[in-house]
Structure 1
């Protein structure tokens, strides 16, 4: 029987190699990437059965990358790993169609269970958070929306890069656009987020957990 394919994404090489060693006997590891931008590219090229990705990655975080991937491929199963137990990350991930959500300090066996679960077209949520997530969904009505949701995917990417201390010129090179385009995105974000100036963009990104 042909092994299912898995694409790994984590900017910490030792973590990624550990995941590879854990999974390689049961699955065909088709690649390891270190940032969300490359993850989106490789997902389109390799078309893996499962993607296991950290949420906190440079250039584009795991949630934004998952959103882009699922927009063009609804069949791929995505499992996100995170150090953050905050429910808003889990709820955002589930809202965009991510099938698995684990805390990084969970036992390795839990990841194996999660992969088998998502491959059977079911959702896996780490038991540590499952009850709290269910309660949060029940109480979701009337709660304020995540302010990041009003930004486009490209704007969120530019904002993350700004928060990672990249200049407009560096961001333009990373995204293969002009510096003027980057400045336009900054201007639009200040406008839609109702900030006073572009100087408030980085504190806003940090406050809302984009980095």
Structure 2
């Protein structure tokens, strides 16, 4: 069976993410943190938008590619340092992915489009950038909110939820309300959104 450039790209992204030394437990198995995140992004995308383009599928898969290579601690531990870290990460993820896409034979236009999406350009204006943001927010709410609840106070959490909500589309909001949350997460979401 012929392996398409898309299948090769996905396999290479998975291979990169599988090298993450940070492990998480999922379904009683230990798995590299970024590979798990990548799989969750991809699965959520295909549920939310079954007809998603190849570009957005790759962008979802590669959203955090090799993230562990740029540690948060290597930047000042303040708001400015955080924003600079996030900006540098987006460029790093886009560049790492573009190099994989080149290797498997994608054209420059396609590579540029994937980079555009990973860097989340024209949020709220570009339909696919907004779709990617919706997926990022849904994955956060479904899999990572609970972890945040353990670490932050209620006011900070309500602020995080509100910011997350404001980044999403109306379709994203509807999907977010279908997620099965713990009682504490649901209470917090309702409080943050005034529901």
Length-normalised TM-score, structure 2: 0.34
More helix by share: 2
More strand by share: 1
Length-normalised TM-score, structure 1: 0.32
| Relative contact order higher in (CA < 8 Å, ≥ 6 apart) | 2
